[in-house]
Amino acid sequence: MKLSVVIPVMNEEENIAPLFEAVRKALKGIDYELIMVDDGSTDRTVERMKELADERTKIVVFNRNFGQTTAMAAGIEEARGDLIATLDGDLQNDPEDIPMMIEKLEKEGWDLVAGRRKKRQDGMFLRKIPSRIANAIIRRTTGVYLHDYGCTLKVFKRDVAKNLGLYGELHRFIPVLAKMYGAKITEVDVRHHPRIHGESKYGIGRTFRVISDLLLMLFMQKYKTKPMHLFGTLGVPMLFVGLLIDAYLFLLKLFGESIGQRPLLILGVMLTLGGIQLITTGFIAELIMRTYFESQNKKPYTIKEIYTGGAKKEKESDETEA
């Protein structure tokens, strides 16, 4: 199959009919499947999807709300296409952009083509400004230079999508996860429409979750396979400084000075204990990392291709003799 289109939805009953129509119109002539993942809707979203489903449609229904990332991961797990596209179910993304993104991916050899909402149809203060700030921070801290991390419209090669490792609320960090996998990434301008039906599931409160997830991404990006480099680098200097302070105060005590009321004593003890805790946390994180990879027979690397020169030459020689 050429393409799998994954769309997470929640309480979008009024958008289902125009969404189905838009996808079918945009992908006419492409061998595709449509995977709709219902993330715990409480309205008639599931009923509307079942009414409109055809032989190309697969509907995955959660028994409760698990979040957009989990819904997207479930849809990708079910996908059978060589390429996988993701988009929102609120009709703000335009399925008409998918063929153009597929063409760019195939002609230019990209592994992931991400959408960039050129004329974003959202509120300025609650959506656009916080998004621009978040995008700038993510670019600078991760080194993955895209302009719009929040756009759900993306097209992936199958192996990239299947190996993203989506958990929690990491869907907004898909480009970073893909880069960690080794994917070649680019972005293109796509259309963005105002929401007509239903209510947005996003609010200003997600800012703090984005910051938390960003810290996790930075850890995964730099220290996933070497956590001791983080915890040891912080812990050893703390322990060393703490021991120096404790030794200095011990000498003062030997010479008869009172140290019990000195703030320096508290600082020395805190640095010593903090350093020990960070170092032991590093040891534990190393053991967890090794267990993660070895228990599942995983490798801390991905191989794009294995080329055996001798085998090719031997084959050419056999063809020449024949």
Task: Give me the half-sphere count of Cα atoms (radius 13 Å) on the Cβ side of residue 133.
Answer: 12
What average pLDDT does range 131-138 have in this prediction? 83
The torsion defined by the Cα of 174, 178, 180 and 185, in degrees rounded to 10, comes to: -110
**Is the pLDDT higher at 91 or at 311?**
91
pLDDT score recorded for residue 17? 96
E strand or H helix at 126: none
Q: Which residue has the tokens 């996790």?
A: 216
Token look-up 């335009």 returns 94
Task: Kindly tell me if the per-residue pLDDT of 122 is higher than 70.
Answer: no
Residue 10 has pLDDT above 80, yes or no: yes
**92 in Cβ contact with 115 (< 8 Å):** no
Least confident of 146-150, 177-181, 207-211: 207-211
Residue 246's nearest CA partner among 225, 228, 267 is 267
Model confidence band, residue 104 (pLDDT cutoffs 50, 70, 90) = very high
For residue 15 the two structure tokens come to 């958008």
Helix or strand or coil: residue 86? strand
Confidence of residue 211 (pLDDT cuts 50, 70, 90): confident
User: What pLDDT digit, counting tens, does each position of 26-78 carry?
Assistant: 999 999 999 999 999 999 999 999 999 999 999 999 999 998 999 999 999 99
* Model confidence, pTM: 0.78
User: Is there a contact between 268 and 253 (Cβ–Cβ < 8 Å)?
Assistant: no
Section 265-293 average pLDDT: 94
